[in-house]
């Protein structure tokens, strides 16, 4: 906002404004520059990724004077990071819950991602877990569609997990996607997973939003659930080299908002 108004005199604009403290050209690119900008911490609400992004990238990307803009990285002071809970549990707690150490955890996503009935979906989960996998996983757009409502999926998956555990003697799991249209519905699904004694739920943190993700992360910490995060929609933000945000920024934001591990795509 560039317009001078009388209320400017009621505060200290110099205290709260951002400051560009360095500019350097991008190597090998014409008319492209990296600008280093610092903001006072008082501009940001504690523990809110939503407010952090609203302030840093909320309006500036729409300025007519800019042909393109990309947020490459964030350097976040410890004083601010300490206001966030972060991941619900972490790697060591996950290994403790599974009683599996000294090796990577192996899992897969159930395919086809859409169209299976809940019963057949549970059957596929059982076959994978019984065959030796540690985890199976919902796809990002498996929520609660007419062909497979969420509660039916949760029940058949729970049956598959307990059956495979009984036959293998190992602790198994399935990333149950709790993403929903409202935070209330999302928490209802997470609560159902807890009531069934299942170890982990999943969330689409970009399409679901940071407020919803932080809410679910807090619930998972309080209720002993692990939280897997899917990055659906990331390429809308991070694919272009000269506009949007680098994925490292999205990953750091998730580290603050909360998630035990993040889907990274094909390796």
Kindly report, residue by residue over 150-192, the tens digit of the pLDDT.
999 999 999 999 999 999 999 999 999 999 999 999 999 999 9
Q: Give catalytic residue positions.
A: 111, 230
Interacting residues of 182 by C-beta distance below 8 A, sequence separation 6+: none
- Please report, for the chain, the start and end positions of each structural domain, with discontinuous segments joined by +: 6-82, 91-262
Of the candidate CATH numbers 3.40.920.10, 3.20.20.110, 3.40.50.300, 2.60.40.3500, the domain formed by 91-262 belongs to 3.20.20.110
Mean pLDDT of 17-45: 95
Q: What's the CA gap between 50 and 200, in Å, rounded?
A: 24
Interacting residues of 80 by C-beta distance below 8 A, sequence separation 6+: 41, 44, 46
Contact 121, 110 (CB under 8 A): yes
Which fold does the domain 6-82 belong to in CATH?
A: Alpha-Beta Plaits (3.30.70)
Residue-wise pLDDT tens digits, 72-105: 999 999 999 999 999 999 999 999 999 999 999 9
Whole-angstrom CA distances from 115 to 127, 145, 186 are 18, 9, 22
* Whether pLDDT at 227 is above 70: yes
Straight-line distance from the first to the last Cα atom of the chain, in angstroms, rounded to the nearest whole number: 44
Mean pLDDT of 118-127: 98
* Whether pLDDT at 145 is above 80: yes
The predicted model scores a pTM of 0.93
The confidence band for 3, taking pLDDT boundaries of 50, 70 and 90, is confident
In this structure, the dihedral spanned by the alpha carbons of residues 135, 145, 150 and 257, taken in order and rounded to 10 degrees, is: 70
Residue 97 in tokens = 């819950």
CA atoms within 13 A on the CB side of 183: 11
Sequence-separated contacts (24+) of 117-122 with Cβ below 8 Å: 117/147, 117/148, 118/148, 118/149, 118/152, 118/153, 118/155, 118/156, 119/152, 119/156, 121/148, 121/153, 121/156, 121/157, 122/153, 122/155, 122/156, 122/157, 122/159, 122/160
């Amino acid at each position: 906002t560039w317009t001078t108004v009388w209320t400017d005199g009621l505060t200290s604009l110099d205290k709260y404004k951002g400051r560009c403290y360095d500019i350097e050209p991008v190597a090998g690119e014409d008319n492209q520059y990296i600008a280093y900008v610092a903001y006072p911490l008082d501009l940001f609400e504690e523990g809110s990724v939503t407010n952090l992004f609203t302030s840093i990238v909320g309006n500036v990307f729409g300025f007519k004077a800019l042909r393109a803009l990309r947020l490459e990285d964030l350097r976040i002071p410890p004083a601010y990071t300490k206001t966030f809970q972060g991941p619900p549990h972490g790697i060591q707690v996950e290994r403790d819950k599974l009683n599996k150490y000294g090796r990577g955890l192996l899992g897969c996503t159930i395919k086809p991602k859409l169209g299976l009935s809940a019963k057949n979906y549970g059957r596929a989960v059982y076959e994978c877990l019984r065959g030796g996998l540690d985890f199976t996983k919902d796809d990002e757009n498996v929520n609660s569609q007419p062909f497979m409502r969420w509660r039916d999926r949760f029940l058949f998956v729970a049956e598959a997990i307990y059956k495979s555990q009984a036959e293998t003697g190992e602790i198994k799991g399935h990333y149950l996607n709790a993403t929903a249209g409202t935070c209330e519905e999302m928490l209802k699904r997470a609560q159902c997973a807890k009531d069934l004694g299942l170890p982990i739920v999943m969330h689409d943190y970009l399409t679901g939003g940071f407020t919803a993700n932080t809410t679910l992360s807090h619930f998972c910490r309080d209720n002993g659930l692990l939280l897997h995060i899917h990055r659906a929609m990331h390429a809308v933000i991070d694919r272009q080299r000269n506009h949007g945000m680098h994925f490292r920024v999205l990953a750091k934001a998730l580290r603050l908002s909360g998630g035990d591990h993040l889907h990274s795509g094909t390796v």
